[in-house]
Amino acid sequence: MSTCSPEQSLLLATARTLPGPHVADLLRETTETLDWTRLIETALEHGVTGLLCRSLLYQPDLVPDVLLEAARQHLQEQRSTNQLLADQLTDILAELAAGGIEAIPFKGPTLALTAYGDLALRSFRDLDFLIHEEQMQSCLEKLCEIGYTQNLRLSPKQLRSFLTYSGQDILYGNGAPIEPHWAFAPSTLALDVDYRGIWDRAEYGDFNGRCILRLAPEDELIILCVHGGKERWTKLKWVADIAEYIRSHPALDWDELMERSKSQGLGRMVRLGLGLAERLIQAPLPPALTGWINKDEMATNWCRHLADTFFEVDTRARSIYQLSRFHWEIRERQRDRWRYLLRTVTQPRELHYMSIALPDRLFFLYTPYKMLHDYLALPTWLWLKRQRTPSDQLHETNEPERTDAAR
- On the question of pLDDT at 389 being above 80, the answer is no
Query: What pTM does this model have?
Result: 0.92
* Secondary-structure breakdown of the chain: helix, strand, coil percentages, each rounded to the nearest 5: 60, 5, 30
- On the question of pLDDT at 397 being above 50, the answer is no
Lowest mean pLDDT among 27-36, 77-86, 105-114, 384-393: 384-393
379 confidence band (pLDDT: 50, 70, 90): confident
Is the CB of residue 129 less than 8 Å from the CB of residue 93? yes
3-state SS, residue 186: coil
What pLDDT is stored for residue 405 in this prediction? 46
Please report the sign of the dihedral spanned by the C-alpha atoms of residue 282, residue 286, residue 287, residue 288. negative
Instruction: Name the burial class of residue 156, with classes exposed (0-12), middle (13-18) and buried (19+) by CB atoms within 10 angstroms of its CB.
Output: exposed
Check: CATH 3.40.605.10 for 82-215?
no
CA count, 13 A, side-chain hemisphere, 61: 3
- On the question of pLDDT at 85 being above 90, the answer is yes
**Alpha helices, DSSP H, located in 172-286:** 195-201, 217-230, 236-248, 254-263, 267-281
What pLDDT is stored for residue 313 in this prediction? 73
Q: Indicate the average pLDDT of the chain.
A: 92
395 confidence band (pLDDT: 50, 70, 90): very low
| Sequence spans of domains, the chain | 1-63, 82-215
What mean pLDDT do residues 96-120 have? 97
User: Which residues are within 8 A (CB) of 150 and not within 5 positions of it... i.e. 6 or more apart?
Assistant: 140, 169, 170, 171, 172
- On the question of pLDDT at 239 being above 50, the answer is yes
Is the CB of residue 406 less than 8 Å from the CB of residue 125? yes
- On the question of pLDDT at 84 being above 90, the answer is yes
